[in-house]
C-alpha cells in the first residue's frame, strides 16, 4: 500500500510503500544510468522525472556473475540491468515523514568482493533496523568488478565503485531530510567489501565530513588497496582478453562491448584460491588517497562499531579443515582480526574507544563452517526468513530470533546514540581482553 503523501526530493516526487511502522522507498535513482557514453565514467546527476515516481520494488542490481559464496549464503536469481543500476533504498519510520523530528541515518553498503551483491536484495532489507532504533536506513548499489574497478583513468575508469558510494552519500546529505532523516547524524556501514568501503569513505577528506559514526563488519583489513602499477597490468591483461587494441580508442571500444562479455572477461582474470578479487580499489585513486592504516587519525571523533565472525575464512576454504584448525584461525586473524586490533587501539589512543563484537553462532546445517564470513548478516538486519537456503544459517530457533532482535537493536542503537552508556556493550580498553562482546 502506498504512503498517502508523496515525498519530494531534488529529482521529483516519490510514493513509498507502507510497511506498518516503516515506509519503504525502493529503487530510487541517486545517479544517472552508467550506460552508453556514461559507462566507465564517474557518476553523473540524475535528471529527475515528472509526476510521482512509484518506489514499490527494488531497482536492478549492477550487472554481475554469481557470487563465489553461494555455497555459504545461498543463491540469488539474476536481477541485474546496467540501465538504472545506480539506485538506493530508504526505510523511514512512518512518523518521521510528518512529525518534524529528524532521525539518525544509517547508510549501509553490501559486500561481495567488489564483484557481486545488491543493496536491493531482501537479505539487506532495512525495515526492522529502522523500526528497532527509530532510525532511517539506506542501502545502495555501486558499480562492481570491471565496471567499478577497472583502472584506466585516461578514459574515466578511476575507482568508479568508490565514486558511486560517494555520490550516494552526497545524495543522502542533500535529500534525506525529506524522509525525516538528520543529515548531521549519519553513520556509514558495510560488511566485507562494504566495510572496507565504509572506512575509506570515513577517512576520505571528500566524504568524511558527512559522517558521524561507522559500522564495519568483517572488513578484509589484511587486503591492502591495489597499487596503480598492478592495477594497470591487470587492465592490460583485461583488454587483451577482450581483444581490444590498446593503441586505439580504448574507451569507445570498451563502451561498445556487451556487458555480459565484460563480465566473462573479468571472470577469466580470477586466480584460483585467491581471496582478493581481480580488481578492487586502487591506492591513490578516487576515494583512496592513502591506506587506511596510515589515515586512522583522520577519523577524528567518529565513533566506531567493529567486529567479525569467529571463523571468517571457512567461507572461502569450506571443508578443507575443521573450522578451529590452527591454519584457518591464523588466516582469519591475518586477513580480518589484526586490522580490528589496530583500528580499535588507534581509536582508544585518540580517546574515542570503539565497540567490538565477535559473532560466534554456528549453523546446525553446516557445522563444518563454524561461524563463517557473512554469518552475522541475517541477524544484523533481523531478516532470518530472507535466507531460506543459506547453509551458514540453517534451521532457525526461537533463540536465534531473540539473538537477531538483540543484535539488530544494538546496531540501531549505535546509529542513534553511539552506545555511549550501554553496559552490555563495553568499549575497548588496551590490554583488556574483555572488550569483545560475543554475539551468538
| Positions marked active-site | 192, 312, 373
The CA distance from 37 to 138, in Å, is: 28
CA angle 336, 279, 190 (to 5 degrees): 45
The CA distance from 310 to 379, in Å, is: 15
Closest C-alpha among 224, 219, 216, 262 to residue 242: 262
Please tell me whether residue 183 adopts helix, strand or coil conformation: strand
The CA distance from 81 to 43, in Å, is: 16
The CA distance from 133 to 388, in Å, is: 26
> What phi and psi, each to the nearest 5 degrees, are found at residue 334?
-65, -45
DSSP 216-233: EES--TTSPPBPHHHHHH
Cell numbers placing 138: 539506506
Where helices occur in 78-159 by DSSP H, the ranges are 127-133, 145-149
Amino acid at each position: 500500500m502506498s504512503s498517502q503523501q508523496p515525498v519530494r526530493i531534488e529529482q521529483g516526487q516519490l510514493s513509498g510503500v507502507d510497511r506498518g511502522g516503516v515506509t519503504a522507498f525502493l529503487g530510487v535513482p541517486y545517479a544517472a544510468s552508467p550506460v552508453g557514453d556514461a559507462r566507465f565514467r564517474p557518476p553523473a546527476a540524475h535528471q529527475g522525472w515528472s509526476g510521482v515516481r512509484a518506489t514499490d520494488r527494488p531497482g536492478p542490481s549492477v550487472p554481475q556473475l554469481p557470487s563465489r559464496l553461494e555455497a555459504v549464503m545461498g543463491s540469488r536469481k539474476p536481477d541485474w540491468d546496467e540501465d538504472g543500476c545506480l539506485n538506493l533504498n530508504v526505510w523511514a519510520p512512518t512518523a518521521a515523514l510528518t512529525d518534524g523530528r529528524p532521525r539518525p541515518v544509517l547508510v549501509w553498503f553490501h559486500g561481495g568482493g567488489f564483484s557481486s551483491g545488491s543493496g536491493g536484495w531482501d537479505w539487506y532489507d532495512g525495515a526492522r533496523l529502522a523500526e528497532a532504533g527509530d532510525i532511517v536506513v539506506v542501502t545502495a548499489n555501486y558499480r562492481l568488478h570491471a565496471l567499478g574497478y577497472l583502472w584506466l583513468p585516461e578514459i574515466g575508469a578511476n575507482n568508479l565503485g568508490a565514486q558511486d558510494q560517494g555520490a550516494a552519500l552526497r545524495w543522502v546529505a542533500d535529500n534525506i531530510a525529506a524522509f525525516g532523516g538528520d543529515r548531521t547524524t549519519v553513520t556509514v556501514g558495510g560488511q566485507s567489501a562494504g566495510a572496507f568501503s565504509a572506512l575509506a569513505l570515513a577517512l576520505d577528506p571528500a566524504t568524511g565530513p558527512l559522517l558521524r559514526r561507522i559500522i564495519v563488519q568483517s572488513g578484509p583489513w589484511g587486503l591492502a588497496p591495489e597499487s596503480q602499477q598492478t592495477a594497470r597490468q591487470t587492465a592490460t591483461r583485461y583488454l587483451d582478453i577482450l581483444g581490444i587494441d590498446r593503441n586505439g580508442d580504448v574507451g569507445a571500444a570498451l563502451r561498445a562491448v556487451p556487458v555480459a562479455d565484460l563480465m566473462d572477461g573479468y571472470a577469466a582474470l580470477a586466480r584460483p584460491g585467491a581471496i582478493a578479487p581481480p580488481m578492487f580499489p586502487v591506492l591513490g585513486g578516487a576515494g583512496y588517497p592513502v591506506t587506511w592504516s596510515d589515515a586512522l587519525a583522520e577519523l577524528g571523533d567518529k565513533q566506531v562499531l567493529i567486529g567479525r565472525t569467529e571463523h571468517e575464512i571457512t567461507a572461502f576454504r569450506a571443508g578443507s579443515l575443521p573450522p578451529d584448525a590452527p591454519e584457518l584461525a591464523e588466516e582469519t586473524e591475518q586477513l580480518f582480526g589484526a586490522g580490528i586490533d589496530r583500528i580499535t587501539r588507534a581509536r582508544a589512543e585518540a580517546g574515542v574507544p570503539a565497540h567490538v563484537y565477535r559473532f560466534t553462532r554456528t549453523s546446525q546445517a553446516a557445522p563444518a563452517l563454524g561461524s563463517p564470513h557473512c554469518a552475522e548478516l541475517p541477524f544484523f538486519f533481523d531478516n532470518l526468513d530472507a535466507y531460506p537456503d543459506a547453509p551458514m544459517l540453517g534451521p532457525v530457533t526461537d533463540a536465534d530470533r531473540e539473538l537477531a532482535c538483540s543484535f539488530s537493536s544494538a546496531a540501531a542503537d549505535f546509529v542513534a546514540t553511539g552506545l555511549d552508556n550501554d553496559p552490555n556493550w563495553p568499549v575497548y580498553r588496551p590490554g583488556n581482553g574483555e572488550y569483545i562482546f560475543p554475539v551468538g
